[in-house]
Amino acid sequence: MIPGLKNIMLRYTFIVVIMFVLAVLIIVKAGFIMFAERQYWKDVADRFVKENVVVLPTRGNIISSDGKLMASSLPEYRIYMDFRAGGEEKDTILMNHLAEISQGLHEIFPDKSAQEFRKHLLKGRRSKSRHYLIYPKRISYIEYKEVKRLPVFELSPNRGGLHVETFNQRKKPFGSLAMRTLGDMYPDMTQGAKNGLELTYDSILRGQNGITHRQKVMNKYLNIIDKPAVDGCDIITTIDVDMQDIAEKALVDQLKTLEAISGVAVVMEVKTGEVKANVNMTRASDGNYYEMRNAAVSNLMEPGSTFKTASIMVAMEDKYITPDYEVDTGNGMVNMYGSWMKDWNWYKGGYGKIDVTKILEVSSNVGVSTIIDKFYKNNPQKFVDGLKRMSIDTPLHLGFVGEASPRILGPKERYFAKTTLPWMSIGYETMIPPIYILNFYNAIANDGVMIKPKFVKAIAKDGEILEEIPTEVVNPKICSDTTLTMIRTILRKVVSEGLAKPAGSKQFNVSGKTGTAQISQGKAGYKSGGVSYLVSFCGYFPSEAPKYSCIVSIQIPHGPASGGLQAGSVFSRIAERIYAKHLYRDLAHAKDSTAVLIPDVKNGDIEESAYVLRALNIPGNSNTVPYSTEPLWGKAQCTHSYADLKISKPSKHQIPNVLNMGAKDAVYLLESYGLKVRLMGLGKVKAQSIPAGSPVRKGQTITLTLKH
């Protein structure tokens, strides 16, 4: 037996036991770290040891055309407490100020009492948690700064233990206003944008990621920037917050009255194509209306009677008809290849024989379909080509998710029954999103120039414009000037004398067309499960010098349906409020009851003008004009404070200048020269067909164009 073997074995056994115990302890500690303290050490790793850390840039803002912030990225925080940080010194301060801290938290977050905060903090202290959530909700930057002013929390994270998780959130100061146009972000903003302008301009708004790493320098960890983050650019939209609010309120009020399913209202600036308001409301299960989808660009529906304008323009452009072309609509019913085409008043006996102007004024289905069937039944493709020539079906590529394009298909693209053409001419058998109908009427208002609707006008960075988005021309001329003049005259009468009177205004003239269409249920037809309607009005204002175009489209689940009354009245409210918004008056020209107003004096026989000015004591030189039994021809030049009259003697051998004369004086003077006069319009003479100074030839006809 080896001497001391027993002692050696005892020592060896002791060492093995010690090693085994240490191994068990290491395994237990590792398990504790992996499971019980997993989150804490993960947070520590995130805070102190990071290589090639991605630094997210600040997403750019979305700004309205009038400079208001519509969407912006703001930080939010979750606040945590490390009860082991700071040791006994921090713990003593915490207990000494616990009541003050609890009361302060209650004042910042009133939904929890001071007593609840006190119990919550003591629970975290007993658990000695290193990552204890103080308040369950995310808080704003202002609330976070308030928390940082409280005792203990004001200390550095290593001494006081307060630390945060930071989140970037997209905020919309105007709430749901233009919500579907602006678009949404995913809850985790790193996943990007979901829809709307947020997605369309995501590459511009999101910026570029940066990279940093943490490095220990002189016993301190510093963030070393390898690549700085580049913040996103701002986009300046065409949306006007006030106009959007006006359109939304007018539409929602009507939707509630009608108990409608949904509604769209879009306002566009005629010359630039800038969309100033885009409202898309759908009724939710709670009975209220919300912006759920951008229906203005995605809804494919049969437009109904607003399409009749395009049908009539095709026939005018092909020189088949003029505004005075007459159609016998009979008793308001006509058999079209086995199917009955009816006017809205067929049960009253119809309209009988009426011209094209009246056909659109009363929105006669029989009148429009009879015209189109008569001239195009043997060649329906020619009619479809005429529509396409006006670019009503040209895809606009506006960039929105779910955007739809018109479906206007001819005989070359689908089966064409004999009834297809008549029904297509009155707005059925076609599918067109509301914004395309608006764009077509906007082209009529814009002297025939069709431009692409624009939702963003500029890209900016740090308050400076980097790029302006130009206006794009879709079609430089949708029709001839002759057709344009005729259809604009008719559309004005549709509102002033026809079924669209509710869309008009006493303050200015409106032009446009109503639409009322039954909504197809697909293969089930138009009456499966009850009849629903799409009522609409599309037009522009003021008629003489169009500034804005607008479409209102409402889907109602039942009759009676009237585009003029139900949609036109919404158009009228929107138009009048927008018009009032743009009424500006120069204060220098402000007048009260004591002010002396200088009237607008016409050229012509100034002796009569002088008599009136003298009688009214108007400042000027009217006293210098002598009394005469014969006309004293002359000119008037008036300022806001003086009326200046000048006598002139026209030559008997040259055509006189009659511009700015009234019709009576101009006709009297020209006929005294032996000329024949033809008048067009009302008001003062704005143009004469034979220029002043031309030789006089008796018997000539001179045409005078008058305007107010």
Q: Please list, in sequence order, all residues whose beta carbon lies within 8 angstroms of the beta carbon of residue 204, skipping any fewer than 6 positions away.
A: 60, 232, 233, 235, 459
Length of the chain: 708
Beta bridge mates, 163: 80
Predicted confidence band of residue 173 (pLDDT cuts 50, 70, 90): confident
Predicted confidence band of residue 38 (pLDDT cuts 50, 70, 90): confident
Beta bridge mates, 533: 518, 556
DSSP structure class, residue 381: H
DSSP notation for 517-563: EEPP-GGG-SSTTS--EEEEEEEEESSSS--EEEEEEEEESSS---I
Beta bridge mates, 516: 535
Degrees, nearest 5: CA angle 315-316-318: 65
pLDDT score of 184: 84
The 10 Å CB-count burial string (b at 16+, else e) for 42-68 is: ebeeeeeeeeeeeebbbbbbbbbbeee
Q: What is the 3-state secondary structure (H, E, C) of 60-106?
A: CCEECCCCCEEEEEEEEEEEEECCCCCHHHHHHHHHHCHHHHHHHHH
pLDDT at 515 > cutoff 70 = yes
Pair 551, 439: CB distance under 8 Å: no
Burial of 73 (0-12, 13-18, 19+ CB in 10 A): buried
Predicted confidence band of residue 274 (pLDDT cuts 50, 70, 90): very high
Give the predicted TM-score (pTM) of the model. 0.71
* 509: enclosing H helix or E strand: none
Q: What is the 3-state secondary structure (H, E, C) of 322-339?
A: CCCCEEECCCCEEEECCE
How do residues 307-335 score in pLDDT, each as one tens digit? 999 999 999 999 999 999 999 999 999 99
Phi then psi for residue 207, to 5 deg, are 75, -160
pLDDT score of 55: 73
Degrees, nearest 5: CA angle 304-310-314: 140
DSSP structure class, residue 603: B
Q: Which residue has the higher pLDDT, 10 or 126?
A: 126
pLDDT score of 265: 96
**SS3 label, residue 12:** helix
pLDDT score of 433: 94
* 575: enclosing H helix or E strand: helix 568-581
**SS3 label, residue 388:** helix
Predicted confidence band of residue 592 (pLDDT cuts 50, 70, 90): low
Mean pLDDT of 402-421: 89
pLDDT at 529 > cutoff 50 = no
Q: Please list, in sequence order, all residues whose beta carbon lies within 8 angstroms of the beta carbon of residue 506, skipping any fewer than 6 positions away.
A: none
- Among 534-543, 567-576, 588-597, name the one with the lowest average pLDDT: 588-597
pLDDT at 35 > cutoff 80 = no
pLDDT score of 489: 93
The dihedral built from the CA positions of residue 628, 630, 635 and 637, taken in this order, carries a sign that is positive
Pair 401, 180: CB distance under 8 Å: no
pLDDT at 528 > cutoff 50 = no
Pair 584, 641: CB distance under 8 Å: no
pLDDT at 523 > cutoff 70 = no
pLDDT at 448 > cutoff 90 = yes
How do residues 87-141 score in pLDDT, each as one tens digit? 888 888 889 999 999 999 999 999 999 999 999 999 999 988 889 999 999 888 8
Q: Please name which of 140, 133, 205, 136 lies closest in space to residue 166, comparing C-alpha atoms.
A: 140
Q: Which residue has the higher pLDDT, 304 or 192?
A: 304
Predicted confidence band of residue 253 (pLDDT cuts 50, 70, 90): very high
pLDDT at 587 > cutoff 70 = no
pLDDT score of 85: 87
Q: Cα–Cα distance between 290 and 182 in angstroms, integer?
A: 14
Q: What residue type is 424 in one-letter code?
A: M
pLDDT at 221 > cutoff 70 = no
The 10 Å CB-count burial string (b at 16+, else e) for 264-287 is: bbbbbbbebbbbbbbbbbbbeeee
Side by side, the strands of the sheet bearing 220-227 are: 53-55, 210-217, 220-227
Of the chain, the end-to-end C-alpha distance in Å amounts to 135
pLDDT at 293 > cutoff 50 = yes
Mean pLDDT of 366-372: 94
299 C-beta neighbours (distance < 10 Å), count: 21
pLDDT score of 4: 62
**Which of left, alpha, beta for 455 (phi over 0: left; psi -120 to 50: alpha)?**
alpha
Please report, for residues 172, 282, 298, the alpha-carbon distance to residue 292 in angstroms, rounded to integers and kept in the order given.
16, 6, 12
pLDDT score of 441: 97
pLDDT score of 170: 83
Q: Cα–Cα distance between 432 and 301 in angstroms, integer?
A: 6
Give the mean pLDDT of the chain.
86
pLDDT at 459 > cutoff 50 = yes
pLDDT at 627 > cutoff 80 = no
Mean pLDDT of 264-282: 95
DSSP notation for 436-485: HHHHHHHHHHTTT-EE--BSEEEEEETTEEEEEPPPPEEES-SS-HHHHH
Pair 80, 132: CB distance under 8 Å: yes
Q: Cα–Cα distance between 68 and 313 in angstroms, integer?
A: 41
Please report, for residues 230, 561, 662, 685, the alpha-carbon distance to residue 689 in angstroms, rounded to integers and kept in the order given.
63, 48, 16, 11
Please report, for residues 629, 692, 703, the alpha-carbon distance to residue 601 in angstroms, rounded to integers and kept in the order given.
20, 21, 23
pLDDT at 455 > cutoff 80 = yes
pLDDT at 418 > cutoff 70 = yes
Predicted confidence band of residue 58 (pLDDT cuts 50, 70, 90): confident
Peptide bond into 151 cis (omega under 30): no
Predicted confidence band of residue 585 (pLDDT cuts 50, 70, 90): very low
Beta bridge mates, 63: 69, 236
Angle at which helices 481-496 and 308-317 pack, to 10 degrees?
Answer: 150
**SS3 label, residue 647:** strand
Pair 601, 638: CB distance under 8 Å: yes
pLDDT at 215 > cutoff 90 = no
pLDDT at 584 > cutoff 80 = no
pLDDT score of 217: 60
Looking up tokens 């306002």 gives: 267
Burial of 334 (0-12, 13-18, 19+ CB in 10 A): buried
Q: Cα–Cα distance between 554 and 47 in angstroms, integer?
A: 55
Predicted confidence band of residue 521 (pLDDT cuts 50, 70, 90): low
Pair 222, 69: CB distance under 8 Å: no
377 C-beta neighbours (distance < 10 Å), count: 13
DSSP notation for 214-240: EEEETTEEEEEEEE--BPPPEEEES--
pLDDT at 589 > cutoff 80 = no
Looking up tokens 């009005």 gives: 537
pLDDT score of 524: 45
* 269: enclosing H helix or E strand: strand 262-269
How do residues 553-568 score in pLDDT, each as one tens digit? 999 988 788 888 999 9
Predicted confidence band of residue 46 (pLDDT cuts 50, 70, 90): low
The 10 Å CB-count burial string (b at 16+, else e) for 579-606 is: beeeeeeeeeeeeeeeeeebeebbbbbb
Q: Please list, in sequence order, all residues whose beta carbon lies within 8 angstroms of the beta carbon of residue 251, skipping any fewer than 6 positions away.
A: 263, 264, 265, 279, 281, 552, 554, 570, 574
Q: Cα–Cα distance between 413 and 32 in angstroms, integer?
A: 71
